[in-house]
Each structure stands twice: as C-alpha cells, then as structure tokens.
Structure 1
Amino acid sequence: MHAGFEIAVWCAVLLGLTLVSISSVSPVELAVAGAAALGGAFAARRMRLAAGSGFRGDPRRAARAVAAVPWAVLRGLAVLVAAMAHRPDDAAVRHVRLRPGTDAGWAGVLLAAAPDTCVIDVPGNDEVVVHALRPEAGPVEAAVTRRDGSR
C-alpha cells in the first residue's frame, strides 16, 4: 500500500468519525477536525509500520466480508433487541474455522462489528473464538468461515 493512499484513507476515516460526532459543523471546526485527522493519519501509519503489521490474506475475500458488514450490523441489532426482550436460549461460544486466504486479524474485526457477536480469542491465524447470541452464522461469519464447518 502506498503511503499517500494509506494516509488519505486514515484521514478520511478519522475526519468522517469526527464530523459524525459533531452536531453542526462550522468552518473552524472543520479545519480543526481536518488538521487533527491528518495528524492522526500520520500517527496511525507510523504505529502500523512500527508494529510491523500489514494486510494479509486474500483481498477479494476481505472485500466480500466488508460488503456483508452492513447486513450483519442490522441483523445483529435485531438479535440484540430480541435478546433484551427475553434471555436467548441459543447463545453460544464457538470456534470459527477460517477459510484459506482469510487472515484472523481482519476477520476478527469484521466479525466483532455485528452487535450480537463478540470475538473472545484468536488462538491461531486460521481460527477465531466468538460468543454469539444466535445459533447460526451471520453474514460476515458465513463469508469468512469454511463451508464444511470443521473445527
């Protein structure tokens, strides 16, 4: 990934989060948010480089999993609301075996995006342990797990 692209993506994400958090945005607040986002973007890149981390795995698989996140969030909210109304009987901790080409790092982040799923552990690069309020796999889980359900 080129440095300029990475910094632009970080800056856009940080600026977007800031603008969503502010109810009305004045020009001064926009300038301050932009400067802070740019500084945060440089810091995030330096931290990633210092940690020696980067994207691993199949980018097409990651794109499919990212595309499933909005549906997973909506579905997860519905499951969470239902769980608040009555205690779920089918909540479970399960080991999720990842498909080849799926990195446990980004898969864990995407799995945890759903409100009804919590990533508990990442014991290996091909396995994630989740606590879910539903017995069946959600959209993101279906996109990143093996079809045979092997453990």
Structure 2
Amino acid sequence: MRALVEVVVWWAMLTGLTVVFISSVSPAELLIATLAALGGAVTARRMRLAAYGHVEGDRGALRALVALPGSVVRGMVVLVVALAADPGAGGSVRRIRLRPGADAGWAGTLLAASPDTCVIGVPRDDEVVVHALRPKAGPLEKAVARPDGAR
C-alpha cells in the first residue's frame, strides 16, 4: 500500500508540474503528460529504493579491495596483450561461486572493475557469471570465490 501511495504522489506531482509548465494543454498533451508522469513516478520510487540499498555480506571484502588495484593493472595488461596478439580471441565464460557471507552486489562490482573481466550475470545471491580474457582466476577473483572444492 505504501508503494502505491508513493507512486501516486510522485505521479500527481509530475503531472501537475508538466501541466503548469505547458501554457495551453490539449487532450493529447494531457494524455502524454499523465503517461510520462506515471513512468517517472515508478522510476523515482525505484531510484529511491536503490539509493537506500544495503550491502549484505562483507566476507572477503577487505581482501578483495586490497587486490583491486593490482587486478586493474593486470587486467589492462591482459587486455592490451589480447588485443595486440589476437583481437578475435573470445576469452571464457565462467561461474564464480562466492564465499559464504559474500554479497554478489559488491563482489560483482569489484570483478567488473578489472578491464579484462565483464560481469554478464548474477543468477543467484552467491554466484556471479563473468566473461574473462584470462584463463585463470586472478587475485581479486580468488578473494571473492569459494576455495576449490568448497560447497
């Protein structure tokens, strides 16, 4: 109910502002204004929720942050070498099971910061799918991934 009230309030404000700023309102302009305001209202609510998001698990975060600068430099080298040596090389797609207590949000953000790694999916809270140009896991990936054989 609170979500509906919030969207209606945003919609009313945005529609009102649009009508005030248009000198003479035709029926077509009013229809477009109300529909656009509805989209803006839903977006405003989603943005507010995203702005107040919480980071859940922080296990391995410090180790991953320490590994981030080296991983970025290493990723740039891997990217330049891959482009110079074989621009058509595709890299590999792999699933990274995260350590218990690690959050896919911050772990995926850190993994995506490296130039040779692209996060292409987060199928579950404890798993991230990446496309990487390097065949083996780097220090950042090792910091957030479960140890080999762990379930």
Percent identity between the two aligned chains: 60
In the alignment, structure 1 segments of 5+ residues that lack a partner are 1-46
For the pair shown, the structure with the greater C-alpha radius of gyration is: 2
Report the count of equivalent residues.
105
**TM-score computed with the length of structure 1 as normaliser:** 0.62
**Where does residue 68 of structure 1 map in the other structure?**
67
Is this contact kept in 1: 2:71–2:140, CA < 8 A? yes
CA positional deviation for 1:50: 2.6
Is this contact kept in 1: 2:82–2:89, CA < 8 A? no
Q: Deviations over 1:87-145 (max 9, x none)?
A: 27571000111010110000000000100000000000000000000110011101000
CA positional deviation for 1:70: 0.2
In structure 2, relative to structure 1, the CA distance for the partners of 1:138 and 1:149 (3 Å cut) is farther
Q: Report the AA paired with residue 66 of structure 1.
A: L
In the alignment, structure 2 segments of 5+ residues that lack a partner are 1-45
Matches within 5 A, 1:1-151: 50-51=49-50, 52-58=52-58, 61-87=60-86, 91-148=91-148
**TM-score computed with the length of structure 2 as normaliser:** 0.62
In structure 2, relative to structure 1, the CA distance for the partners of 1:102 and 1:48 (3 Å cut) is farther
